[in-house]
């Protein structure tokens, strides 16, 4: 894999941004291999993802951000610098439902998800054999009370494994604000509903009672507000009055695995730029 840098940029929309950024890469020995941009005409904001090679780039990693700083200051730009060679240490948290966990492990094993899978954490023992099959450490941390002790044990495991990013693969526990604050913008959750409809528990039952004609799944970054974080990926499928709650749940599982996988991959490939409570996802 070619070692590349990724710049995720946002600034007030103005002339000269694209040309100046491209000129910076060219003059310093980089070769642009991917560039995407978007202008929000309502808010007057310009967004860009630009990826370029580092093989002949004149600035070392620890100097690149400082070298780009004058351009960022000139255009009042927010800049996030990422590197394709960096593989974050990832943890997957799951409860009893296996489908999202199984899918992520298969994709990770196939090399589709550029991360080092550090640990699988569950409040149930069900996935121990699955974790063993893939050679991933497994932590069974049951919930014995509602005093927050289990969450503290989870955090201790994550810290000991030096985890940088988390995926909630149908982890049916609400994380405390303190937990979320420890991993800002680094926790992805799959919600078995097309948010903002049917937040919270039993969304398929809620959907059935409402008589919906489509059901969906939503992957989003976790914030302290339940199921209200920036949305990364969504999908839907049509249903009808003939579908029972069990039918909806079965159809929903197919959506959940695909939506979560797309969201995790976009995040790990540095294709997501968060703007307020929205995202710009570059494909």
Give catalytic residues, as residue numbers: 227
Q: How far apart are CA 192 and CA 138, in angstroms?
A: 25
Is 188 in a helix, a strand, or coil? strand
Residue whose token pair is 């840098």? 5
32 burial class (0-12, 13-18, 19+ CB within 10 angstroms)?
A: middle
Q: What is the spatial distance between Cα 251 and Cα 41, in angstroms, rounded to a whole number? A: 37
Q: Listing from the earlier edge strand, what are the strands of the sheet with 187-191? A: 138-140, 116-122, 89-94, 165-168, 187-191, 214-221, 231-238
Longest C-alpha distance within the chain, in Å? 63
């Amino acid at each position: 894999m070619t070692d590349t840098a990724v710049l995720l940029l946002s600034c007030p929309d103005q002339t000269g941004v694209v040309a100046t950024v491209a000129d910076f890469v060219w003059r310093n020995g980089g070769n642009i291999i991917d560039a995407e941009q978007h202008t929000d005409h309502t808010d007057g904001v310009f967004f860009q993802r630009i990826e370029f090679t580092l093989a002949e780039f004149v600035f070392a990693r620890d100097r690149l951000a400082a070298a780009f700083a004058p351009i960022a200051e000139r255009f009042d730009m927010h800049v996030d610098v990422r590197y394709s060679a960096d593989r974050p240490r990832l943890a997957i948290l799951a409860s009893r439902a296996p489908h999202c966990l199984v899918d992520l492990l298969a994709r990770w094993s196939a090399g589709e998800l550029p991360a080092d899978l550090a640990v699988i954490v569950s409040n149930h023992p069900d996935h121990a054999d699955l974790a063993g099959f893939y050679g991933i450490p497994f932590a069974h941390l049951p919930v014995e009370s509602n005093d927050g002790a289990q969450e503290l044990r989870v955090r201790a495991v994550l810290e000991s494994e030096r985890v940088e990013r988390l995926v909630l693969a149908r982890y049916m526990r609400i994380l405390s604000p303190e937990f979320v604050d420890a991993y800002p913008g680094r926790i992805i959750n799959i919600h078995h509903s097309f948010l903002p409809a049917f937040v919270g528990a039993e969304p398929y039952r809620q959907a059935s009672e409402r008589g919906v004609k489509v059901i969906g799944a939503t992957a989003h970054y976790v914030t302290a507000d339940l199921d209200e974080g920036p949305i990364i990926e969504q999908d839907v499928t049509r249903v009808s009055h003939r579908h029972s709650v069990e039918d909806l749940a079965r159809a929903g599982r197919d959506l959940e695995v695909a939506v979560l996988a797309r969201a995790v991959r976009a995040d790990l490939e540095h294709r997501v730029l968060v703007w307020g409570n929205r995202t710009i996802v570059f494909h």
